A and B are shown apart, each in its own frame.
Chain A
Amino acid sequence: MILKSLRGVALLLVVLFFMFPIFWIVVMSLQTNAEILSLPPKLIFPPTLMNYTALITGHLKTSVGTLNIAFMHNLWNSFLLSALSVIVALVLGVPAAYAFARYKFRLGEDMAFTLLSLKFAPPLLVLLPLSLEFQRVGLDNTYIGLIWIYQLITLPLILWIVRGYFEDASPDIEYAYRVDGHSWLKGFLKIAIPLARPGIAAAVVLSIIPTLAIALYAQRWLVEGLSLGAVKG
């Protein structure tokens, strides 16, 4: 009984620690500037959508004047940037992931490891020289430059996740399709890619939310496989 209530209290504290900041940000987002700045913090207040309208219109009216914010523009930019980066990474990464999964070749293993270790390497190591070089050739602050940099994050992710899915699908299914009389390319587009679609979808979502990636992806095979491995030793 005591144990149970202790457990309840512990859970409550945990939920409070992790959820309160998010709750509080939502609360603040519905307050006026004056309310945000007041102490003690106000829990009961007339909620206002003023901040949200300001984000959408781009003008925040305060007592001292109107503040221009480029939120929508920035949001659109980062959306465009993520989308383009992911598309580029897919076009580059999915065929390579297929090659790594289906054919055992030295270059493949080396590339897979290089990309992964670069993903774990300090980002500044690549970013600082790139920014210098980009400045030199005028690529800094351009979409192309930024998409290039983003490949550092998205490409390894897509390679490693999608590769796993290709590896899990039996090559016999593709062989059967080719024996039926279809070309390799057709088999790749009509069989291999559709079979790896869940993996591709996961990789897309996860390359937009990077940390979540490892947690959820890890969970997929950890749960599926490790338990069996543990049982069988």
Chain B
Amino acid sequence: MSALIVTSLSVRYGTHHVLRDVDLDVRQNERVVLFGPSGVGKTVMLRAIAGLEPGAVGQVVLAGRDVSRDPPEARHLGMAFQNFALYPHMPARENIASPLRARKLDTAPIAAKVKSVAELLRIDHVLDHFPRQLSNGQKQRTALARALVGEPKLILFDDPLRNVDAKLRYEMRIELPRLLAKRETAAIYVTQDFREAMAIGDRVAVLIDGEIAQFALADEVYDRPATIAIARLFGDPPMNLIAAHGQARGSGTLVRAAGLVFGFDAAPPREPVFGIRPEAVMLFSEPETGRVAAQIVAVTPMNERYLVLLRTEDGTELVASHDTPPPHGSHIWIGAEPGLGALFDAATGLCVAAAPSSEEIAA
């Protein structure tokens, strides 16, 4: 049984379609990331699942139960808001206890559950503080504790790390999957940060213009973006997209891009575009077959990595990203990591094939 099945969910604000016939399913204990640029309806989708969008049309099935017509209080979800949404007039303890109070539990089990979740999140020492007395990190954890305490089968996270500092974001990125696994809770996690999406999501659903453009394992979205738009969005720095020449060869295509040659298992697209991740662009100080001469235009250190802006002899610009500094000298040779790269058709915007055959590169 799935934790959640959403079928043809639509939300319209006036004449503007925020969501258009969206389908989504979340398996038990699975973490699905809802990824997309700001303003594409990620939050609206979460709110519709929670029952907070009165105008939503479509079906929402939670743990086998159709809740499409149920008010939010009957859906038994956990939710963490971007702005924490703590109750300012209640101490942290009461904030966390709120879902249990709604179920009219007795005082003793409430106290025990609050204590255990607070210990798990290491906020048991601030339970008597009011939200205004808490640090941002503690507010964050209080909000998480409130979402977790009722042991819901599904928790909705609305970009919860957006408003916290980098250190805390890094911490939570590691801690959150562990926590969710421990509580055996499925989650939908909204973010526009692809690192967060990769760190937290088992699967990633990419939402663009009110529709799900791709819904696949995180690695697959990374290695084989379904569309050029996704390739541009998902990744920092994004995938290099290079206009290429395609030529039919057998049932496949021989693609030339920036002087490099790749073989793909698909018929030649109308307007071939070759995509390669910056990490898959290899840098060499020596020429060899299958390598192309290039010039280093700029080197920018970023997060213990080096971003290298390159220009090949045919004028193509591309970015490489490595955790070691590039070879000395401004003239180097580049190659592609075997098996990495994707072929798009600019005419349709779709991905045609991925994982070029490595023997072809040598050819």
Contacts and interface: CB of A to CB of B under 8 A. Distances in A.
Contacts of B76: 181
Interface stretch (A25-33, A110-118, A172-180, A211-219): A172-180
Nearest to B103: A181
A182 interface: yes
B49 to A, nearest CB: 10
| Residue in A170, A176, A177, A183 with the greatest tally of chain B CB atoms within 10 Å | A176
A123 interface: no
A178 B73 contact: yes
A170 B75 contact: no
B83 A178 contact: no
Interface string A166-204: 000010110111111111100000010011000000000
B81 A194 contact: no
Contact of A179 (B52, B82, B83, B103): B52
Given A181-B76, A181-B102, A195-B88, A176 B146 contact: yes
Interface string B91-102: 000000011011
Contacts of A180: 73, 98-99, 101-102, 146, 150
Contact of A176 (B51, B74, B81): B81
A179 B78 contact: yes
B284 interface: no
Given A181-B76, A181-B102, A175 B87 contact: no
Given A177-B87, A181-B102, A172 B73 contact: no
B328 interface: no
A175 B54 CA distance: 12
Contacts of A172: 81-83, 85
B165 to A, nearest CB: 21
Interface in B173-221: none
Contacts of B73: 178-184
B286 to A, nearest CB: 57
Interface size class of A (residues with CB under 8 A): 10 to 19
A191 B87 contact: yes
Contacts of B74: 181
A178 B102 CA distance: 9
Contacts of A184: 71, 73
Contacts of B78: 179
B322 interface: no
B106 to A, nearest CB: 16
A172 B101 CA distance: 19
Contacts, number: 65
Given A175-B50, A179-B72, A181-B76, A170 B150 contact: no
Contacts of A175: 47, 50, 52, 72, 79, 81, 85
A181 B104 CA distance: 10
A214 B304 CA distance: 58
A194 B52 CA distance: 21
| Residue in A170, A175, A182 with the greatest tally of chain B CB atoms within 10 Å | A175
Contacts of A182: 73, 98, 101-102
Interface in B44-85: 47, 50-52, 71-79, 81-83, 85
A115 B253 CA distance: 73
A173 B75 contact: no
Contacts of B89: 194-195
B226 interface: no
| Residue in B71, B85, B146 with the greatest tally of chain A CB atoms within 10 Å | B85
Nearest to A197: B89
Contacts of B88: 173, 195
B86 interface: yes
| Residue in B73, B74, B78, B88 with the greatest tally of chain A CB atoms within 10 Å | B73
B4 to A, nearest CB: 14
B87 A179 contact: no
A191 B101 CA distance: 14
B150 A176 contact: no
B71 A177 contact: no
Interface in A88-138: none
B50 to A, nearest CB: 5
A175 B79 CA distance: 9
Given A182-B73, A183-B73, A177 B98 contact: yes
Contacts of B52: 175, 178-179
Contacts of A178: 51-52, 71-73
Nearest to A182: B102
A58 B314 CA distance: 105
A57 B77 CA distance: 65
Nearest to A184: B71
A170 B83 contact: yes
| Residue in A173, A180, A183 with the greatest tally of chain B CB atoms within 10 Å | A180
7 contacts: A170-B85, A179-B52, A179-B78, A181-B102, A182-B73, A182-B101, A183-B73
Interface of A: 170, 172-173, 175-184, 191, 194-195
Given A172-B83, A176-B81, 7 more contacts: A172-B81, A176-B79, A179-B52, A180-B99, A181-B73, A181-B150, A184-B73
